[in-house]
């Protein structure tokens, strides 16, 4: 009998267990990213739990009944789910959360060489996060296309060349993790498309002239920040397979791409590695014609290999190593058939292209970083050792015809080798209880060796060897609701140029030139640049700012050297450009709406505008003034519906007589038409997300034609275009995402802006017709 109570207890325990239920699942974001440490609670109950680092959660011993579950996580919209539990049920409920419109204090900026939030930055900044990059990549694998909706940035050329894709009407400096990708000593306009979107965590666009990273940032900086290891899993695998095709005419248009990523954290070692390979078919315009292969993105083979390791030595010290290899080369069976400007486009026709394949042969980037907190006193220290090794090959051209040596033409290539070191210190300070801030100071050392040869060995631009030594200091002061920033940078540049002979060329429509012997020498540039800005955060709904900043750039020295008519380097006009950027703007957040805007003026006493003289491009050195405004609005109309729009207007003029009267309009390769980018985003049952985007690029007609009806390079009239893109994602499970992207949904028949202002038959090229892309992404 003594066992009866025990048997009774066991019976009723089993009965109670059979009558209770369990709830488990995983919390993810809209792109299947794990949402760590989300808070979960039941309404009208004190039962709560917290999701794990991988987003998983569980509730046990729940009674049967109806429940309403509330899920919250920083950066995501609070989400509720209603469901029922039966006695003994083991229910799995996976929840997808929508990202929230972020406040200024939540947006992190690192491109200004310190980590800070946007409400501490008195200038205009745009940030594309990983989710936005993945979404925009659904319609194009080109980074230039991914950034098309960024205010102030001209539309992509949809080509390998970024000529004309300016930032606020000026050249910008492209970086990968702070490593310069641009080649300002011989600007080849190949710096934008130098990395695969799959390895980018976010893109930071700092607008307006800046010298914070040295030579070449007259319009601002675009920094591709690569992915970092995840700190809460030992191993995560992400596999993505995508395929695209033209919906106008599918023949030979199939594209495909495979990307594999491994990442994780093992004790103090974090790692991430990616390999991707993609092939594109031919591109077709809205009428089904083959888009000209001239500097085209069709029929290319693209490779990218990326790796990053970081190791935490102790609580205050860590090291990191990053390496990325990128290659994209065209292998086409088509050749360019010139069009008739203003009448019919240049197209691709079957034929054998002379010379070797064009494209970026390789782009190697490597960086070693050491971080130390409280190195001495409260001072933090950061050091970067980096390199970039780049080579790109251009198309074959009769421009290099030489009857005396038997050359029918030729094709050029730019090679650039950069090595550098940055040493940065940050020392905080405080006075009383109201004033605090920090001083960022250090030194940049860069060696950039750039040259331009022809594939056959002929020299076009000699090997230019630049050594740049630049100490700098940047002050940030916080006083109550004011943020004051001011800085100074001292540029010291020596450029060695060997003796060389300019190449013999036969310009189209021009006279033979070249064969000038030039005595080399040394060019020296010294400049001091300043910046200052003030932001006020005391008002709840409006945070205004004003700023002044300068940049320093050597205006495409290689182009000047290769067309030299003087006999010594010392006689060549190669003065540097110092641009001054004046800006007033604001940020505003109220309720579910964010609004920002800015008006800017950028001036320089010397210009960097290309002009064509007898078939040769030269640099006009007249004073320049660029001005315009930007505005952006994002609002959540309902829990599942978001709307956003932005407008960019830029204009520019030259002072032809250097008398203060800006009397000439700047060319289209510098000044884009007005741009309006809008989108509407809708979530369906937290499983399906649909985004419809519209880009309007306006017209610009500032120049008269020549007497024969043709236009000078850069001065062709540009007609307005309307492009609509559609992206849709479907969360098949917590780990699997199916995505669809449609480029040019309405099959707009249009000419690329670059082909319109370029005004030449060879480059009168149309944009892509409707293209479909499907993608499957699996996280394990």
Mean pLDDT of 506-519: 76
Is the pLDDT at 72 greater than 90? The verdict is no
Q: Are 454 and 483 in contact (CB under 8 A)?
A: no
Alpha-carbon torsion 497, 501, 503, 507, what sign?
A: positive
Is the pLDDT at 149 greater than 50? The verdict is yes
Is the pLDDT at 8 greater than 50? The verdict is no
Is the pLDDT at 269 greater than 60? The verdict is yes
Q: Are 351 and 338 in contact (CB under 8 A)?
A: no
CA distance 555 to 491: 15
pLDDT band at 221; cut points 50, 70, 90: very high
pLDDT one-digit tens code per residue, 325-360 = 999 999 999 999 999 999 999 999 999 888 899 999
CA distance 314 to 321: 17
- H/E stretch holding 755 reads helix 753-758
Q: Are 146 and 138 in contact (CB under 8 A)?
A: no
Provide the token pair at 470: 């630049």
Q: Return mean pLDDT, the chain.
A: 89
Q: Are 584 and 549 in contact (CB under 8 A)?
A: no
Instruction: State the residue for tokens 């009397």.
Output: 663
Assign residue 158 a region: left if phi > 0, alpha if psi is -120 to 50, beta otherwise? Answer: left
CA distance 460 to 194: 23
Same fold, 104-220 and 221-779: no
pLDDT one-digit tens code per residue, 197-211 = 999 999 999 999 998
Mean pLDDT of 169-181: 94
Tell me how far the alpha carbon of residue 428 is from its chain's centroid: 31
Mean pLDDT of 44-65: 83
pLDDT one-digit tens code per residue, 716-752 = 999 999 999 999 999 888 789 999 999 999 999 999 9
Question: 340-379: string of b/e by CB count within 10 Å (b at 16+)?
Answer: ebbeebbbbeeeebebebbbbbebbbbbebebbeebeeeb
Calculate the dihedral angle through the C-alpha atoms of 724, 727, 728, 729, rounding to the nearest 10 degrees.
Answer: -170
Beta-sheet strands, E only, within 208-250: 220-226, 236-246
- H/E stretch holding 124 reads none
When mean pLDDT is compared over 106-110, 165-169, 516-520, the highest value belongs to: 165-169
pLDDT at 7: 44
Is the pLDDT at 551 greater than 80? The verdict is yes
Q: Which string of DSSP letters, residue by residue, matches 172-202?
A: EEEEETTEE---GGG--S-SSS-S-GGGEEE
* Residue 758 DSSP SS3: helix
pLDDT at 12: 41
Start-to-end C-alpha separation, the chain: 55
CA distance 424 to 331: 44
Higher pLDDT, 14 or 52: 52
pLDDT at 103: 65
So what CATH class is 104-220? mainly beta
pLDDT at 465: 96
Nearest to 759 by CA among 612, 560, 653, 555: 612
Alpha-carbon torsion 557, 562, 565, 568, what sign?
A: positive
Provide the token pair at 631: 């505005």
pLDDT at 428: 93
- CB-side exposure of 93: number of CA atoms within 13 Å? 24
Is the pLDDT at 614 greater than 90? The verdict is no
Nearest-Å Rg of the Cα atoms of the chain is: 29
Is the pLDDT at 613 greater than 60? The verdict is no
pLDDT at 257: 96
Residue extents of the structural domains in the chain = 19-96, 104-220, 221-779
Is the pLDDT at 509 greater than 70? The verdict is no
CA distance 3 to 591: 65
Mean pLDDT of 273-298: 94
Name the CATH superfamily for 19-96.
Immunoglobulins (2.60.40.10)
CA distance 50 to 38: 6
Is the pLDDT at 571 greater than 80? The verdict is no
CA distance 594 to 424: 34
Nearest to 758 by CA among 695, 710, 696, 709: 710
Tell me how far the alpha carbon of residue 723 is from its chain's centroid: 20
Q: Pairing between strand 300-312 and 317-330?
A: antiparallel
Name the CATH superfamily for 221-779.
TonB-dependent receptor, beta-barrel domain (2.40.170.20)
Nearest to 679 by CA among 703, 645, 715, 713: 645
pLDDT at 13: 44
pLDDT band at 145; cut points 50, 70, 90: very high
């Amino acid at each position: 009998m003594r066992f009866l109570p025990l048997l009774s207890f066991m019976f009723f325990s089993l009965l109670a267990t059979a009558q209770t239920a369990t709830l488990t699942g995983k919390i993810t974001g809209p792109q299947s990213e794990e949402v760590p440490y989300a808070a979960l609670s039941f309404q009208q109950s004190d039962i709560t739990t917290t999701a794990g680092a991988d987003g998983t959660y569980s509730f046990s011993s729940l009674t049967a009944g109806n429940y309403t579950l509330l899920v919250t996580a920083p950066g995501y919209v609070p989400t509720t789910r209603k469901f029922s539990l039966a006695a003994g049920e083991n229910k799995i409920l996976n929840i997808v959360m929508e990202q929230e419109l972020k406040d200024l204090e939540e947006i992190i900026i690192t491109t200004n060489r310190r980590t800070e939030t946007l409400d501490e930055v008195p200038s205009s900044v745009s940030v594309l996060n990983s989710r936005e990059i993945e979404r925009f990549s659904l319609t194009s694998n080109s980074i230039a296309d991914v950034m098309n909706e960024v205010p102030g940035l001209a539309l992509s050329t949809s080509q390998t060349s970024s000529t004309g894709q300016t930032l606020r009407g000026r050249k910008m400096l492209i970086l990968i993790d702070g490593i310069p990708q641009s080649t300002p000593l011989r600007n080849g306009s190949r710096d934008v498309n130098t990395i695969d979107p799959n390895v980018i965590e976010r893109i930071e666009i700092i607008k307006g002239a800046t010298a914070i990273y040295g030579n070449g940032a007259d319009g601002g900086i675009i920094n591709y920040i690569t992915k970092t290891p995840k700190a809460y899993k030992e191993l995560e695998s992400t596999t993505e397979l995508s395929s695209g095709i033209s919906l106008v005419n599918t023949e030979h248009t199939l594209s495909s791409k495979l990307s594999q990523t491994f990442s994780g954290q093992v004790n103090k070692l974090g790692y991430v590695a990616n390999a991707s390979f993609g092939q594109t078919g031919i591109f077709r315009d809205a009428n089904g014609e083959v888009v000209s292969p001239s500097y085209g993105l069709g029929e290319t083979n693209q490779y990218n290999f990326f790796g990053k390791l970081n190791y935490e030595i102790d609580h205050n010290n860590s090291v990191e190593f990053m390496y990325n290899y990128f290659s994209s080369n065209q292998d086409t069976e088509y050749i360019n058939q010139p069009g008739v400007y203003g009448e019919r486009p240049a197209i691709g026709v079957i034929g054998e292209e002379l010379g070797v394949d064009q494209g970026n042969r390789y782009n190697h980037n490597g960086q070693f970083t050491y971080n130390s907190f409280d190195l001495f006193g409260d001072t933090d220290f950061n050091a970067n050792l980096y390199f970039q090794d780049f080579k790109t090959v251009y198309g074959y051209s009769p421009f290099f015809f030489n009857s005396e040596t038997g050359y029918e033409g030729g094709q050029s290539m730019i090679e650039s080798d950069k090595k550098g070191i940055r040493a940065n210190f940050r020392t905080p300070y405080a006075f009383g209880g109201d004033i605090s801030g920090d001083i960022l100071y250090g030194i940049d050392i860069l060696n950039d060796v750039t040259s331009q040869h022809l594939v056959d060995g002929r020299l076009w631009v000699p090997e230019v060897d630049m050594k740049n030594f630049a100490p700098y200091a940047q002050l940030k002061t916080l006083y109550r609701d004011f943020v004051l920033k001011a800085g100074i940078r001292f540029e010291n540049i020596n450029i060695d140029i060997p003796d060389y002979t300019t190449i013999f060329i036969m310009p189209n429509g021009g006279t033979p030139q070249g064969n000038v012997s030039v005595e080399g020498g040394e060019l020296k540039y010294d400049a001091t640049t300043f910046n200052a800005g003030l932001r006020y955060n005391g008002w709840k709904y409006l945070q205004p700012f004003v700023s002044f900043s300068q940049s320093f750039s050597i205006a495409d020295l290689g182009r000047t050297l290769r067309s030299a008519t003087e006999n010594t380097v010392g006689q060549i006009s190669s003065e540097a450009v110092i641009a001054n950027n004046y800006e007033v703007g604001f940020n505003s957040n109220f309720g579910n709406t964010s609004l920002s805007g800015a008006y800017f003026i950028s001036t320089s006493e010397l210009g960097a505008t290309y002009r064509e003289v007898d078939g040769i491009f030269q640099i006009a050195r007249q004073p320049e003034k660029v001005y315009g405004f930007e505005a952006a609005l994002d609002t959540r109309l309902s829990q599942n519906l978001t709307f956003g729009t932005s407008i960019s207007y830029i204009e520019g003029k030259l002072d032809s007589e250097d008398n203060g009267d800006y009397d000439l309009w700047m060319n289209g390769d510098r000044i884009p038409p007005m741009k309006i980018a809008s989108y509407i985003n809708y979530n369906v049952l937290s499983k399906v997300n649909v985004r419809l985007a519209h880009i309007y690029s306006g017209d610009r007609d500032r120049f008269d034609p020549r007497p024969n009806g043709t236009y000078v390079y850069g001065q062709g009239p540009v007609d307005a275009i309307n492009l609509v893109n559609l992206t849709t994602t479907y969360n098949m499970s917590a780990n699997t995402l199916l995505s669809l992207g449609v480029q040019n949904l309405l099959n707009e028949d249009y000419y690329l802006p670059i082909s319109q202002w370029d005004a030449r038959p060879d480059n009168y090229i149309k944009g892509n017709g409707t293209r479909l892309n499907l993608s499957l992404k699996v996280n394990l």
